[in-house]
Structure 1
């Protein structure tokens, strides 16, 4: 049953990853800034992510929230990587949808997480990135702060341990990549790094491990 669910989720993710950039393209970025050449890769990444989420979560109701959020986060990562921008049109609805839908999911029998935990996670990770932005605004965009709200909500659903793990995983991955760029002289101290993809990868790693830990 779980493997069948993973296959179906992977197919859904591949289709969503293929179509979502076309649907959101003109709304998410300015014309001419972001091409659609990487859509095929986005379909593969989204399909693999959705299949992994289904394997880790199983048939628990929160899987529906993860499958809705996954294509949006992949699109956000692609946009940020291409134009160094995280559009409000995606980050803010993501935060509201994740926290709001998890509140509904918490009422369904079989849900494995905590809605208060999700709300606290959104506030905690969002507050942490707001602090980083205030300390060093040239190194951290305000779009990262808004993205952290949705990612923190997803991580907080499974508890503080996975919130901390996913949050720090993104920070460490981004810092390591920035250091590597400096070492190979592909970037200078003033180079702007697209941090969204690392935040997203770290968050999903925490959600995957958190979901798996609840399998019992």
Structure 2
């Protein structure tokens, strides 16, 4: 009976991890919308129609939808029937100024903004479920589940504006090392914190050398991202570091080759490399966790 219960636990753990990923993924599009700006631009504080973004944590937490725009659209669909409104045109309820530069009565461009929330939530849920399946009940799973939404956020931002902000890459590296240091003190973990530390330094140093050799081919944001990736992969050993790094370059190369073959880009066209580094690290982490 005990053996049977033990074999069922990973399934429940996977379901819980997927639910966590879906919930966290729902919050990624708003943060991505706010952060995905050009280097010389301030983070967005308003929806595309000009309304101030409000919510928890100073407007950072919440769904990527604007309540003001949503209410405006609902008002447009609701006929007026209140006393004193005789003669008013049905559906005219929402004629208020809806944002900077908008003419009163104009419908908002959209009440949802940023990357597609269902897709991002599903991707984050799938990533967390895969980590749970590979890691099982070992304590480092908590670290992977906390870092996975941050990795998805980084990938989305890099795809949209081809930059990896320091506000995301440096905390990723710091959190990975600190949290893994805590997990190293918990029984039944399957990694080594010193290798995670050296993996961070070595991979970050290697990417820095690539940046010095070819600054146009390797952004400095990729170098900072490599610090966190090296820590995560290094937890399971140098073989995992090599595997995850190779997979990242492979994915990026295949993507670039596909763009060239379909004539959507030339050989010198820059592509966002961060998402492929993250995808490669994810594959390496799955294999490293499963084999540990």
- TM-score normalised to structure 1 length: 0.94
Q: Runs of 5+ in structure 1 lacking a partner?
A: none
Closer/same/farther in 2, CA of residues 24 and 178 from structure 1, 3 Å limit: closer
Q: 1:26 Cα shift? A: 2.4
Partner of 1:164: 242
**Does the Cα contact within 8 Å between 1:106 and 1:115 map onto a contact in 2?**
yes
Give the RMSD, CA atoms, in angstroms.
1.7
2:287 to 172, 191, 209: 209
1:74 counterpart SS class: helix
User: Hey, what's the Cα distance between the residues in 2 that align with 1:123 and 1:66?
Assistant: 20
**Does the Cα contact within 8 Å between 2:29 and 2:115 map onto a contact in 1?**
no
Closer/same/farther in 2, CA of residues 28 and 101 from structure 1, 3 Å limit: farther
Partner of 1:180: 258
Q: Runs of 5+ in structure 2 lacking a partner?
A: 1-8, 38-42, 49-112
User: Hey, what's the Cα distance between the residues in 2 that align with 1:99 and 1:51?
Assistant: 22
Structure with larger RCO (C-alpha < 8 A, sep 6+): 1
2:216 to 105, 124, 138: 138
Partner of 1:18: 26
Say if 2:162 is the partner of 1:84.
yes
Report Cα offsets for 1:117-158 as digits up to 9, x if no partner.
100111111111111111111111100000111011000000
Closer/same/farther in 2, CA of residues 176 and 23 from structure 1, 3 Å limit: closer
**Does the Cα contact within 8 Å between 1:62 and 1:105 map onto a contact in 2?**
yes
Partner of 1:46: 124
User: Hey, what's the Cα distance between the residues in 2 that align with 1:25 and 1:103?
Assistant: 32
Partner of 1:100: 178
Q: Highest Rg: 1 or 2?
A: 2
User: Hey, what's the Cα distance between the residues in 2 that align with 1:174 and 1:157?
Assistant: 24
Say if 2:15 is the partner of 1:7.
yes
User: Hey, what's the Cα distance between the residues in 2 that align with 1:176 and 1:28?
Assistant: 25
